[in-house]
Amino acid sequence: MYNAAAVYAYHVQRLVGISFSVDVEAFYDSKSERAERLRRHSLQSDCLAGAFIKSIWPVPGRSTHDWKELQGLIGGDEPGEERLYGKTANVRMWLKRGFATGDAASCNTWTAPSSEVA
């Protein structure tokens, strides 16, 4: 379920040109700026995945328990991943936001405060 949602998120980001603006290294003034944009991109993808899951919920054969279990599995648990993809709490927050609203418009990580994309 999450894999399908992640592919949807990637597709949306490619369609609207967001991925292109993150992929091109020439757009960055510093490594820290690049890292922040990559985190914002990744967290937006998590939010869009949550919105996709909401759009198909309830899923036959899946329960609320499965949704809660998925949230527990999501996050930067490998060394270095947390800084690259965002703090585990923020990853889960964006996934939950997308699911709560079911609306891609709620996934604007680009205007979110730095604390929400750390």
Residue 65 confidence (pLDDT) above 70: yes
pLDDT digits (tens, 9 = 90+) for 66-109: 888 888 887 655 665 656 788 889 999 999 999 999 999 999 99
Average pLDDT over residues 20-33: 74
Residue 35 confidence (pLDDT) above 90: no
Q: How much of the chain exceeds pLDDT 90, in percent?
A: 47
Q: Are 33 and 25 in contact (CB under 8 A)?
A: no
Where are the domains positioned within the chain?
Answer: 2-116
Place of tokens 């036959």: 60
- Cis ω on the peptide bond leading into residue 58 (within 30° of 0)? yes
